Amino acid sequence: MSSIFAKLLFSTLCMLFLLKTHSLVFADQRLAIVYPVIQNFKSMITSDPLGVTKSWIGSDICNYKGFYCDNPPDNNSAIALASIDFNGFHLSASTLDGFIDKLPDIALFHANSNNFIGTITSQITKLPYLYELDLSNNRFSGPFPIAVLGMNTLTFLDIRFNFFSGGVPQQIFTQNLEILFINNNLLTQKLPENLASSSIFLLTLANNKFVGPIPRNLPKALSSLTEVVLLNNELTGCLPHEIGYFQEAVVFDVGNNQLTGPLPFSLSCLEKVEVVNLAGNMFYGIVPEIVCAGLVNLVNFSLSDNYFTHVGPFCRMLIQRGVLDVGKNCIHDLPFQRSVMECADFFAKPKICPFMWFHSFFPCKFPFQNSQVSSIP
Ligand X SMILES: *[C@@H]1O[C@H](CO)[C@@H](O)[C@H](O)[C@H]1NC(C)=O
Distance between start and end Cα atoms, the chain: 83
Nearest residue to ligand X, scored by beta-carbon proximity: 78
C-beta closer to ligand X: residue 26 or 41: 26
Question: Interface with ligand X includes 334 (CB under 6 A)?
Answer: no
Question: Interface with ligand X includes 75 (CB under 6 A)?
Answer: yes
The SS3 assignment for 14 reads helix
Instruction: Give the 3-state DSSP-derived string for 77-109, with helices as H, strands as E and coil as C.
Output: CCCEEEEEECCCCCCEECCCCCCHHHCCCCCEE
- Long-range CB contacts for residues 182-185, cutoff 8 Å, separation at least 24: 182/144, 182/157, 182/208, 183/207, 183/208, 183/229, 184/160, 184/208, 185/159, 185/160, 185/161
C-beta closer to ligand X: residue 65 or 272: 272
Answer whether 219's CB lies under 8 Å from 336's CB: no
Alpha-carbon distance of 116 to 310, in angstroms, equals 50
Instruction: List Cα–Cα distances, 43 to 54, 69, 95, 199, in angstroms.
Output: 12, 22, 12, 40
> Shortest approach of ligand X to residue 277 CB, angstroms?
4
Length of the chain: 377
Q: Shortest CA distance to 304 belongs to which of 255, 236, 243, 246?
A: 255
Question: Interface with ligand X includes 29 (CB under 6 A)?
Answer: yes
> Shortest approach of ligand X to residue 301 CB, angstroms?
8
Applying CB under 6 A, among 198, 256, 257, 277 the residue interacting with ligand X is: 277
Segment interacting with ligand X (CB under 6 A) among 72-80, 115-123, 138-146, 233-241: 72-80
Q: What angle do CA 165, 170, 176 make, to 5 degrees?
A: 110
C-beta closer to ligand X: residue 221 or 276: 276
Beta-bridge partners for 130:
none
Segment interacting with ligand X (CB under 6 A) among 75-83, 233-241, 305-313, 366-374: 75-83
Question: Interface with ligand X includes 184 (CB under 6 A)?
Answer: no
Segment interacting with ligand X (CB under 6 A) among 4-12, 73-81, 94-102, 329-337: 73-81
Alpha-carbon distance of 219 to 210, in angstroms, equals 16
> Shortest approach of ligand X to residue 288 CB, angstroms?
19
C-beta closer to ligand X: residue 78 or 334: 78
Question: Interface with ligand X includes 59 (CB under 6 A)?
Answer: no
Question: 285-324: which residues touch ligand X (CB under 6 A)?
Answer: 300, 302
Segment interacting with ligand X (CB under 6 A) among 70-78, 144-152, 173-181, 347-355: 70-78
Applying CB under 6 A, among 32, 52, 78, 373 the residue interacting with ligand X is: 78
For 136, phi then psi, to 5°, come to -70, 155
Number of residues that bind ligand X (CB under 6 A): 10
> Shortest approach of ligand X to residue 211 CB, angstroms?
21
Alpha-carbon distance of 47 to 179, in angstroms, equals 31
> Shortest approach of ligand X to residue 302 CB, angstroms?
4
C-beta closer to ligand X: residue 11 or 258: 258
Question: Interface with ligand X includes 77 (CB under 6 A)?
Answer: yes
The stretches of the chain forming alpha helices (DSSP H) are: 2-23, 29-44, 218-221, 289-294, 313-320, 340-348
> Shortest approach of ligand X to residue 163 CB, angstroms?
24
Binding site for ligand X (CB under 6 A): 28-29, 75, 77-78, 255, 277, 279, 300, 302
